[in-house]
Amino acid sequence: MIKSEEVRKIFLDFFARRGHKIVSSSSLIPYDDPSVLLTTAGMQQFKKYYTREKDALKDFGTQRTTSIQKCFRTTDIDEVGDERHLTFFEMLGNFSFGPVGTDDPEDFGIVGYFKKSAIYWAHELITKEFGLKIDYVTVFGGEENVPFDEESFKFWQNLGFSQDKILKKGREDNFWGPTGDEGPCGPTTEIYVDGLEIWNLVFNEYYQDKNKNLKKLEFPGVDTGMGLERLMKVLQKTPTIFETDLFLPLKEVLDKFSDNERRKRIIMDHLRGSVFLIADGLYPSNLERGYVLRRILRRLRLHAKFLNLTFDILEELIKKTIEKYSEFYPELKNFEKIKSIFFEELNNFENTLNRGLREFEKLIKENDSPEILGEKVFLLYTSYGLPKEISLELLKEKGILWDNNSEKVYQELFKEHQLISKGNNG
Ligand code: SER
């Protein structure tokens, strides 16, 4: 069975042979893009090449690059625990910037390319190199100021896809970007294997400004992204992404403790994510990205407690993560530093969590009204320091619904509390 290590190599070699420069992943903490909290896509480090503020030919010796990018997306944090959501993941990508040449897939040179080459190469890599069968593909069907992507439709037809295997979708599904407030964006064509969207090919023809106006870019570019975890799932034919070799070293340890898949997935995802965030220099804090790290470490601690995992076991999981990934991400080699920040945060949270859990059990009743729940969760936070996210997680465990009314009461009390604190300080 093909391993992820081989897949990384096949992908990068495929594009390197086709004139692409292999570029290392950028940090999860974007260094010159204040519009985003964390790195969420492979194209992020290349934004300025699409807008011509930077020159790819000068920096890379080619208008084509390829990378495996570390990504962290916060939008799905609460969904983690199901079969498919992740915070941290890796994205395999190929990119083209600047003037487009002949866009001939046989051209292995260094000039920019566009839809035809991007589609033909993706097709070749998936079906020939990886031997997978594409179920169907989607293209942009046309909406508002952006026309139907007829060219992509035709290229898929030329590759033998019948019309019913080329679905036309709207802006919601088949238009990508920008990241943050503004940036390159455009229509996409997406590839589905075994019912999963595995590869997103974005044709960056536009620049969206802060007022959401679209302008045509001087030269169109290509930005593709394929999730490594999903690709491994279809290649290794595992029930979910969590049985692929990317997670297996962690899963084997956790399987000895529990058969609660949800808990194990939360622990695997949050542990891997926090190790990578810490390795990139992030510290847990109450602010912005620091809070993302704090939040996942605390949720990880909660579920680890439910499984009775000792700190030794957590340390073993950190070691296994580093073993699996440090060949590709040397920043992970600093085990002592990662370990010390990780456990310092967990230690600091320990008393609050234990006391919060006790108070939660005493206070929360199954038949509490939504409004009362709002009040109680607020009280748990202000009197015992139990973070709201942890309370909501505990409610979910008990099958108690936190609805809009609960949230409203919580927010009102929170605002009042802030005013009072400010008044006292002033
Ligand atoms: N930027 C696109 C994505 O994140 C393709 O790389 O899906």
Q: What's the confidence (pLDDT) of residue 426? A: 43
Token code pair at residue 167: 């679905």
Number of independent structural domains in the chain: 1
Q: What's the confidence (pLDDT) of residue 52? A: 94
Phi/psi for 385 (5° steps) reads 75, 10
In a domain, 231, yes or no: yes
90 lines ligand 1 (CB under 6 A): no
In a domain, 306, yes or no: no
In a domain, 145, yes or no: yes
Its pTM stands at 0.95
In a domain, 263, yes or no: no
280 lines ligand 1 (CB under 6 A): no
Locate the ligand 1 atom nearest the alpha carbon of residue 226 and give its number: 6
202 lines ligand 1 (CB under 6 A): yes
pLDDT-based confidence at residue 76 (cuts at 50, 70, 90): confident
Cα–Cα distances in Å, from 93 out to 66, 152, 331? Answer: 6, 18, 21
Respond yes or no on whether the N-terminal peptide bond of residue 178 is cis (omega within 30° of 0): yes
Mean pLDDT score of the chain, rounded to an integer? 95
Q: What's the confidence (pLDDT) of residue 424? A: 60
Neighbouring C-beta atoms of residue 106, cutoff 10 Å: 9
In a domain, 213, yes or no: yes
Among 146-160, 172-186, 246-260, 411-425, name the one with the lowest average pLDDT: 411-425
Query: Is pLDDT at 60 greater than 60 in this prediction?
Result: yes
Locus of tokens 């949270």: 349
42 lines ligand 1 (CB under 6 A): yes
- With the most atoms of ligand 1 within 8 angstroms of its CB, the residue from 197, 202, 205 to mutate is 202
Cα–ligand 1 centroid distance for 350 (angstroms): 38
Residue of the nearest CA to atom 4 in ligand 1? 41
* Partners of residue 168 on adjacent β-strands: 139
In a domain, 261, yes or no: no
- With the most atoms of ligand 1 within 8 angstroms of its CB, the residue from 91, 94, 203 to mutate is 91
190 lines ligand 1 (CB under 6 A): no
**34: CATH:** 3.30.930.10
Query: Is pLDDT at 36 greater than 90 in this prediction?
Result: no
Residue of the nearest CA to atom 3 in ligand 1? 225
Residue of the nearest CA to atom 1 in ligand 1? 41
pLDDT tens per residue, range 87-142: 999 999 999 999 999 999 999 999 999 999 999 999 999 999 999 999 999 999 99
Q: What's the confidence (pLDDT) of residue 317? A: 98
Residues 327, 330, 235, 149, CA torsion sign: negative
pLDDT-based confidence at residue 32 (cuts at 50, 70, 90): confident
Cα–ligand 1 centroid distance for 7 (angstroms): 19
Cα–ligand 1 centroid distance for 41 (angstroms): 6
pLDDT tens per residue, range 208-255: 999 999 999 999 999 999 999 999 999 999 999 999 999 999 999 999
**Closest among 330, 132, 155 to 237, alpha carbons compared:** 132
In a domain, 165, yes or no: yes
Calculate the CA 343 to chain-centre distance: 24
What range does the domain containing 103 cover? 4-236
Locus of tokens 């930077």: 54
Q: Going by DSSP bridges, is the β-strand pair 183-193/196-208 parallel, antiparallel, or unpaired? A: antiparallel
